[in-house]
Structures are given as structure tokens and as C-alpha cells.
Amino acid sequence: MWSNGQWDDKMEGSHQNTEGFGKGNMEETIDALDLKGLRVIQPVCGYRFGMDSVLLAEFSQPRKGERVLDLGCGDGVLLFLLWGRESSLTGVGLEIREDACDRAERGIHLNGLEERFSVLHGDFRRLKEHVPADSFSLCVCNPPYWRKNDLNDDCARTQVKGDYGAIAKAAAYALRAKGRFCVICPAENFDHLMAECVNSGFALRRFCPVYSRPGCPGKRVLMEFSWRTNSGGAVLLPPGGPGSVPIKNAEAGALGP
């Protein structure tokens, strides 16, 4: 979020503990997403979703009737945000962390989305064991950003359980022809992710830089790829233009809803 001229990676919401709700306890919170009454269950300590998920959900522009796969769905926030923008969506979240899977499943129940979404506990590097090929029209991913030695062994933040190449291959397996793959990454990783997606058969369709504030280099890049289509040239979206994702209260030149 845009706050005091700075980029805020944490979303604010109404916090409640989850004691008495499923497997929840005092180490979790229920946070409002400020969208159709949706809420997400998150740990007090550990990975909590930030603005990147909000940007990716908006950029993905979910379409009526699409079936979506979220690779590394965490606590399910991206699925909820996508449904908040298009209520005809159905889909699956795949997550390797058992505790996050549990929170995502409880979040689906909390939001009354049992007929829309399901969560699978598994590794996207072995996606064939979990879902059929060519079975989704939209794949989204907010991947771990850092190489495994950069921070620690937290697989929500570091690539200890799969790098960009593995993510691209999983998306290619899951998508039907002309399916869309939407992803966000740090600006310094743009060329790496781009190369892996092209190597897996994707064509870049749209991309959009994300700026923390005017006059500063882009911090993130949002990208949409198309599967099994000829490249017709990618569109670089302008900050604040159609299909971009303006940040509330951002000044001219900063990307942002």
C-alpha cells in the first residue's frame, strides 16, 4: 500500500484470533480483505500476505467462467481476491506447507466458497500427481522471490522447493491451449523468469512495472503469458492505464487500484 510516501508490504484488516475455529489458535488472525466481506486466516508470526497478492489479483483480470490454479496458494488469499473480482471462478490451490493448506481450507469454509475452490497439499514440481494436464484456463503464482541461500529455508520466501523453471513447467502442464499464466516477480528477476517461461512454450502478452514511488526504479513486474499461441508482441502497460494496477493515493508516475 502507499503510506507516508513509502511502499507498505503489509495489508491492514480487522484482526481476530481463530480460537475455537477449526484448528485455529491464538497464533492466528482472521483479517478482512475489504472486498465482498472476504476474510483470510493468517499466522501471527511467519509469512503474511502483502500488496503483491492484491496487485496480481487485479492485474490477472479474471474472466467469467475461468478455472484457475494457484501454484503455491499459501493461506488462499489470492484465490479469494480473484473470486472477489469474478464470482463465477472455480479453481484449485496447491500448497506444499501443511499448516498453510489447513488455513486455506478453513478460509474457504469461512468465506462460504466450498463449491468454488479446493486446496491440495502437494509439490508443484510433481503436479502430474495432483491435477490432470490441460485442465485450467488461468494459472496464477506469487512465487518465492529469493534464492535459497539469500535468506533462509522458508519456502514461502525462498526457492528451496522449486525455482522459476519448475514454476513455468508446472503452469505449462496445467494450462489448456491459449490459457493464461499471470505472475509477479522482483524487477531484477524479470529476465530470468521471462527466459524460463519462453523455454516452456509461453508467449509474453502483457507486462507492467510496479513503482514504490515516483522517481525510483521499478520494484516489481507483473506479467501475463499465453500458452501455445504464436507471439504477437507484448504490450507494456502504462502506469494507471487500462489494465494496469494503480496503488491508492499514488502520485503520478507510480503504478498502482
Residue 185 lies in a domain: yes
Residue 243 lies in a domain: no
**CA distance linking residue 129 with residue 66, whole number of Å:** 22
**CA distance linking residue 255 with residue 240, whole number of Å:** 6
Helices (H), 94-163: 98-110
Residue 161 lies in a domain: yes
- At 215 the pLDDT is 81
> SS3 of 233, please?
coil
Pairing of strands 218-227, 235-236: unpaired
Closest-CA residue to 79 (of 185, 252, 95, 186): 95
Residue 35 lies in a domain: no
Q: What are phi and psi of 244, to 5 degrees?
A: -90, 180
pLDDT at 26 over 80: no
Residue 34 lies in a domain: no
Residue 214 lies in a domain: yes
User: Can you give the residue range of the structural domain that contains 160?
Assistant: 49-236
Residue 4 lies in a domain: no
Helix (H) or strand (E) holding 167: helix 164-174
Q: What is the CATH number of the domain that holds 147?
A: 3.40.50.150
Average pLDDT value over all residues in the chain: 81
Closest-CA residue to 2 (of 54, 41, 56, 45): 54
- At 190 the pLDDT is 93
**CA distance linking residue 157 with residue 167, whole number of Å:** 14
- At 239 the pLDDT is 65
> Could you tell me the three cell numbers for 31?
483479517
> Could you tell me the three cell numbers for 180?
493464461
Total domains in the fold of the chain: 1
- At 243 the pLDDT is 52
pTM given for the model: 0.81
Residue 106 lies in a domain: yes
pLDDT in tens, 155-190: 444 444 458 999 999 999 999 999 999 999 999 999
pLDDT in tens, 91-143: 999 999 999 999 999 999 999 999 999 999 999 999 999 999 999 999 999 99
Mean pLDDT across 145-150: 55
Other Cβ atoms closer than 10 A to 190: 16
- At 231 the pLDDT is 62
Residues 6+ apart with CB under 8 A from 111: 37, 38, 39, 80
